[in-house]
Amino acid sequence: MIAASDRLPLGDVVSHWSAAALWRLPLVGQWPDRVHVTSPVLSHRKSTTTLVRYRRPITDPAERVDDISLTSLAETVIDVARVGTFLQAVAMGDAALWREQHPRDANGLLGVTRAQLDRVLQFSGEHRGLARARRVLGFIDGRANRPGESLARVTMAELGVPAPVLQHPIVLPDGTRYDLDFYFPEFDVGLEFDGRAKYLDPAFRGGRTAEQVVYDEKVREDHVRSALRGFGRCDWRVAGSTALLGAVLRRIGVRW
């Protein structure tokens, strides 16, 4: 992107997945191998072997990240919602909303409000993918703070599972509080997304060893199980499979 941006004509800005990478948004899937840019409507420049070009006016003023001119964070999310998969757009939208709602935990990463996303969609003047983007905006939730949780939510929607409450607090008699990734109040059942990074990535371990994280999670799980009728976990493989996730949900007591 740095190399491509140095050669972009005046008026072109990095956009879509390329802008998402610069904004440090998560992607479920593989990053594209071509740089995505948006050119003015009247531009006659076309896509090349290294560039994917879209022609339309941008709604927000262009911003700069890593000294590269790109679409705003809100416009980037909407662009991916228009042309990307539902899952990709939900993961990015969830993350962008979460950052805005949890600035202290976002490590300086910029977030957006739902109002900013709604405004970009309303005033963009672009009709391509409008229904897709509206569906994404109706589904994203700033309480889902990891792409694995977004993946599980999308799979649950495909299954037709009753929508769970996100980050539901459980307070034990001694005052200890745990927040469940997913809680199904109709069944008093909880589900956690459990990726490998929690145990292997030092950024998620808070100075603890992997062994200590495993032990702490076991203690936490024992406490959570004592407060619920049913409890389960899912990883990336399970969260992305309707068959596997459906089996886990039925096993712990969710009915639909």
Q: Report which of residues 195 and 9 the model is more confident about.
A: 9
User: What average pLDDT does the structure give for the chain?
Assistant: 91
Q: Residue 224 — pLDDT band, cuts 50, 70, 90?
A: confident
Count of positions (residues) in the chain:
256
pLDDT on residue 173: 76
Q: Residue 202 — pLDDT band, cuts 50, 70, 90?
A: low
Nearest-angstrom CA–CA distance, 15 and 122: 18
Nearest-angstrom CA–CA distance, 153 and 142: 12
Structure tokens at 167: 């980050």
Nearest-angstrom CA–CA distance, 224 and 43: 58
pLDDT on residue 197: 53
Amino acid code (one letter) for 21:
A
Average pLDDT over residues 1-19: 92
pLDDT on residue 204: 58
